[in-house]
Amino acid sequence: MAEPIPRPLPRSFYERDVCEVAQDLLGCLLVHRVGGRRVGGRIVETEAYGGPGDPGSHADRAPTGRARIMFGRPAIAYVYFTYGMHYCMNAVTGPEGVGSGVLLRAAEPMWGIEEMRARGFPPRLPDHMLMSGPGRLCRALGVGREHNGVELTRGPLTIRAGGAAEQVRSGPRVGLTRDDGRRWRYWIASPSVSRR
DNA sequence: TCTATGATCGTA
DNA sequence: ACGATCATAGAG
């Protein structure tokens, strides 16, 4: 028997300001059930997107196209394809109609390391890098186009309470980074796991 | 350790 | 054309 894992976060968790949700997702558990196997880990880096006045957000424009789902029901996955080869995964937040979500940037692998490696990572890549970065995170979990719009409060792909206060050793760090010299982005990370 | 570059395709 | 990225090659 596998040991029990915490319950999924309720929808009310996501029905708040995107920045609050981004912070509170640190330390929570991202779990995927695939082929009868549990794959996943502890969320250690998030990034809030959307709300009014975020030019970097896909939801900055009209509620149409791929970002339409960001304006919809909270606690739904927004998965998009980028750079012709990577998927990225968000959790939709806030009230319906606002257009916001939390990008899951990195997690610490806890279950299914073998299943992750079977997805063809570089052979030398250390375990802690398998879910480090939004593209690798989705690849490790086997999350792709078919997961766009899925429910995160139940079903195979869930986010669960993880005892953030205990797990995130030094509390969240909030950063301001520059993406390729053009655009400023806020991100929130646990210092307990290095990305390098 | 770092900087530069290619891969590859949906969206605007 | 360009991007909410990643892997690799080459220089220092």
pTM over 0.75: yes
Instruction: Indicate whether A39 pLDDT > 80.
Output: yes
Query: How far apart, in whole angstroms, are the C-alpha atoms of residue A134 and residue A34?
Result: 19
Backbone angles phi, psi at A90, to 5 degrees: -120, 155
pLDDT reported for residue A88: 98
Which residue's CA is nearest to the C1' of nucleotide C2?
A83
Q: CA at A179, C1' at C1: how many angstroms apart? A: 18
Strand C nucleotides within a 7 Å radius of protein CB atoms: 3-8
Read off the pLDDT of each residue in A75-98 and give the average, rounded to a whole number.
97
Which DSSP letter does residue A59 get?
Answer: G
Instruction: Indicate whether A2 pLDDT > 80.
Output: no
Q: Provide CB contacts within 8 A for A150, sequence distance 6+.
A: A76, A77, A157
Across all strands, nucleotide nearest A135 (CA–C1'): C5
Q: For chain A, give every domain's residue range.
A: 11-187
Q: What is the pLDDT of residues A137-163, one digit of tens each?
A: 999 999 999 999 999 999 999 999 986
Across all strands, nucleotide nearest A180 (CA–C1'): C3
Query: How far apart, in whole angstroms, are the C-alpha atoms of residue A46 and residue A95?
Result: 19
Q: CA at A191, C1' at C10: how many angstroms apart? A: 32
Which residue reads 């995130």 in tokens?
A: A168
Across all strands, nucleotide nearest A148 (CA–C1'): B10
Report protein residues in contact with nucleic acid strand B, where contact means CB under 7 Å: A 58, 61, 64-67, 80-81, 83-85
The second-level CATH assignment, the architecture, of A11-187 is Roll (3.10)
